[in-house]
Amino acid sequence: GAGVSQSPRYKVAKRGQDVALRCDPISGHVSLFWYQQALGQGPEFLTYFQNEAQLDKSGLPSDRFFAERPEGSVSTLKIQRTQQEDSAVYLCASSLEDRGRGEAFFGQGTRLTVV
Amino acid sequence: GDSVTQMEGPVTLSEEACLTINCTYTATGYPSLFWYVQYPGEGLQLLLKATKADDKGSNKGFEATYRKETTSFHLEKGSVQVSDSAVYFCALSGRGYQKVTFGTGTKLQVIP
């Protein structure tokens, strides 16, 4: 597709369950970001990849959160032992240039609900 | 650290009314400033941006001017349409890569 694709669109997880969220960036985009958007809030930065290198993971809220982009294209955000406070929309964005310069294109997000 | 403060919503306007959504920021150095829009059921889209002081970003009839002296980037439109109903986010990014810091968003509802 032409845009950033995220799957699944919706995920319901039982507390304590592990989840994996997928992001397919626009083909050829070097930079990839993950954001977390709680209900009624703006997105908050989680982590940044330049190709396969994770250059910044300062926004990951705990060591239960892990992200990877092994071949510099598709990325997966994994959350272990989910908690209710993890309920949010997880947004992925990609941009063509390195260092994140240039316009970032966002996916529609994955809405995670932990019950 | 960097932060963005924008007016709380929801904002309800009649079609063809004037719109202003206030946004102020705190950042070190000279950030780039953005307005993003999120239409119902869709992803975030960049609406406009400004990269240096006194720059004016504009798109789809919306405008915002980068005011360094007041650390503001207010969004304006002279005549809103029903199709402008959405959530608007003010945002900034600092030097280096574009890690974006967002405000909390302002929901705009335009009624016919």
Residue A96 Cα, gap to closest chain B Cα (Å): 12
B93 versus B71: which is more confidently predicted? B71
- Give pLDDT, residue B9: 86
Of A53, A57, A42, A43, the closest CA to residue A92 belongs to: A43
DSSP string, A21-69: EEEEPPTT--EEEEEEE-TTS--EEEEEEETTEEEE-TT--STTEEEE-
Cross-chain residue pair A56–B43, CB shorter than 8 Å? no
Backbone angles phi, psi at A100, to 5 degrees: 75, 10
pLDDT in tens, B76-108: 999 999 999 999 999 998 766 568 899 999 999
- Give pLDDT, residue A99: 61
| Rounded mean pLDDT, A59-81 | 97
Of B75, B6, B86, B85, the closest CA to residue B44 belongs to: B86
Of A94, A93, A48, the closest CA to residue A67 belongs to: A48
Q: Indicate the pLDDT class of residue A33, thresholds 50, 70 and 90.
A: very high
Cross-chain residue pair B91–A104, CB shorter than 8 Å? no
- Does the pLDDT of residue A1 top 70, yes or no? no
- Give pLDDT, residue A53: 95
- Does the pLDDT of residue A61 top 70, yes or no? yes
pLDDT in tens, B43-52: 899 999 998 8
Nearest CA in chain A to B5: A42
Q: Indicate the pLDDT class of residue B61, thresholds 50, 70 and 90.
A: very high
Which of A42, A48, A108 lies closest to B97 in CB terms?
A: A48
Cross-chain residue pair A33–B99, CB shorter than 8 Å? yes
- Does the pLDDT of residue A100 top 60, yes or no? no
Cross-chain residue pair A99–B96, CB shorter than 8 Å? yes
Cross-chain residue pair B97–A100, CB shorter than 8 Å? yes
- Give pLDDT, residue B29: 82
Residue B72 exposure: Cα atoms within 13 Å on the Cβ side: 11
- Give pLDDT, residue A103: 77
Contacting residues of A for B103, CB less than 8 Å apart: 42
Residue A83 Cα, gap to closest chain B Cα (Å): 23
Nearest CA in chain A to B90: A42
| Rounded mean pLDDT, A77-86 | 98
- Give pLDDT, residue B95: 64
| Rounded mean pLDDT, B10-29 | 95
Mean pLDDT of chain B: 93
- Give pLDDT, residue B88: 97
Q: Find which of B3, B32, B92, B100 to mutate to test the A interface (most A CBs within 10 Å of its CB).
A: B100
